[in-house]
Amino acid sequence: MRTRVGALAMGRLLGDQWRGHGPGYAALADRVRALVLDGRLPLEVRVPSERQLAEQLHVSRTTVTAAYDALREAGFLRSRQGSGSWTSVPGGVRPTGGAIAPPRPDELDDDLLDLAAATMPADGVAVRAAYEAALLELPRHLPGVGYAAEGLPEARQAVADSFTARGLPTDPSQVVVTSGAVSAWALLLRVLTQPGDRVLVEQPSYPNALEAARRAGARLVPVPLGDAGERLWDVEAWRTAFRQSAPTLGYVIPDCQNPTGGVMDEATREAVVAAADAVGTTLVADETLVDLRLDGRPPARPMASFSPSVVTVGGLSKSAWAGLRLGWVRAPRDLVDRLVEARLSWDLGTPVLEQLALAHLLAAPDRGAHAAARRAEVGARRDALTTALRRELPAWRWREAQGGLSLWVELDRRSSSAMAEQAGAHGLRLAAGPRFGVEGALERYLRLPFVVPAERVDDAVRRLAGLADAVGTRRPSRLVV
């Protein structure tokens, strides 16, 4: 079943910027083509009829017919008599993304600047204190077998308490401790989906989560996020996507969205949750970056506050240390039982020492101070990166990141993959935009993590500017920050 885009929604996507740029049909066709290539108009979406779109745009039907003909000839539309037209790419080529791997140990040196992985070094003071406390507690666990598929009681209690402190009462029986947030998501896919099930995702989204869904055999249904200057989450688009596709799962990152850094407001959270509940979709909210809100505003209510059916995944990889390799699921008790049962044929649980450290990190009396210091450090790196980008690459633009660890940068031409391929020659690692989308879109975008130390940011951006020159991305443009 293909989803549809109505004439009203198509009109909003098209906007007015295409008007007045040459022959009307050609300008309209160019705008539709750009929407497809940038991932704003997903593939396999049925577009409005020529009559409906002409009425919506207040142009002649001849203009729309000619535009659709041009798009068909170029391979961006396919049509079948009596079935309408739907979006495509030339030649049926559909490059997919793929998980982003951290640099290999043999790649790590002072000459390589990593702008691919969005992760920070450890909060050394807090992590070391947590491990020291965990080592003191470890002896009392040694007489046991060390298996706990649901997680140690101390760790489950600490996670539950962290939710309760945020205004979401949680019992430890609702928590499963996992080997990272991606493992939590993969476990949910394993338990809740079958190959061929539809999973609704944001576009762009976290590549490793998308790849986990692909490997589970899911059919990804992307809902495009808004461009700079637009509302990031379009509530009506989400309602329509839930209604049309009736997905088994929905996956959203409402807090410091990866890669855009946006934060979903509470009204939108409530509306998206209601839309999922209306069709029986299990909504999964990824809160991995919730502790890294940088705009100084109070945290929004967790999405699970709006419905007991919402499942939450989280972890401390971004806010404390990725080397901890622990995450969690908060879910209804009946789902927790199913998750624990599934783990018995998978990994049997997570390391005891790390779980004890996790409990100390979450319950530490100075956790608030450490979190504030971490946010200040990340914010300083973000500001250094944006300052350098404005100076060296003024034609690029981005939405100001409310939090998280990255900017989602729009280039002035579709050259993201070419830049990623040639990055090594300039001492950089980059992740191309298509990795963050479904079926080969987002070539105009790069995710740029602001994780490089502030004293090396200028060097990183100068290298990036040299790379942009080498692949021809810095032509004059009307795009401004």
Boundary of a domain, candidates 336, 367, 398: 367
For residue 415, pLDDT over 90 is answered with no
Segment 121-132 shows an average pLDDT of 94
> Each residue of 241-277: pLDDT tens digit?
999 999 999 999 999 999 999 999 999 999 999 999 9
The total domain count for the chain is 3
In the prediction, which pLDDT does 34 show? 80
Answer whether residue 318 is part of any domain: yes
For residue 479, pLDDT over 60 is answered with no
Same domain, 308 and 360: yes
Residue 147 gets which letter from DSSP? -
Answer whether residue 477 is part of any domain: no
Residue entry with tokens 């885009």: 5
Same domain, 225 and 169: yes
Same domain, 278 and 355: yes
**14-18-24-27 Cα dihedral, nearest 10 degrees:** -90
Same domain, 393 and 417: yes
Answer whether residue 420 is part of any domain: yes
Answer whether residue 476 is part of any domain: no
Q: What is the CATH number of the domain that holds 298?
A: 3.40.640.10
Same domain, 351 and 400: no
Q: What ranges make up the beta strands (E) of 121-240?
A: 175-178, 198-203, 219-224
Q: What is the CATH number of the domain that holds 115?
A: 3.90.1150.10
Same domain, 223 and 349: yes
Answer whether residue 478 is part of any domain: no
Same domain, 62 and 154: no
Answer whether residue 98 is part of any domain: no
What's the count of helices (H) and strands (E) in the chain, helices before strands?
15, 16
Same domain, 399 and 360: no
Q: What is the CATH number of the domain that holds 54?
A: 1.10.10.10
For 171, the 3-state DSSP assignment is coil
Confidence category of residue 228, pLDDT binned at 50, 70, 90 = low
Same domain, 228 and 363: yes
Same domain, 261 and 334: yes
Least confident stretch, 144-153, 189-198, 302-311, 437-446:
437-446
Residue entry with tokens 């990889």: 317
Answer whether residue 480 is part of any domain: no
**423-429-430-436 Cα dihedral, nearest 10 degrees:** 140
Same domain, 172 and 293: yes
In the prediction, which pLDDT does 97 show? 60
Residue range(s) defining the domain that contains residue 158: 131-367
Least confident stretch, 9-13, 182-186, 225-229, 419-423:
225-229
Burial 369-388, CB ≥16 within 10 A → b, else e: ebbeebbeebbebbebbbeb
Boundary of a domain, candidates 367, 385, 402: 367
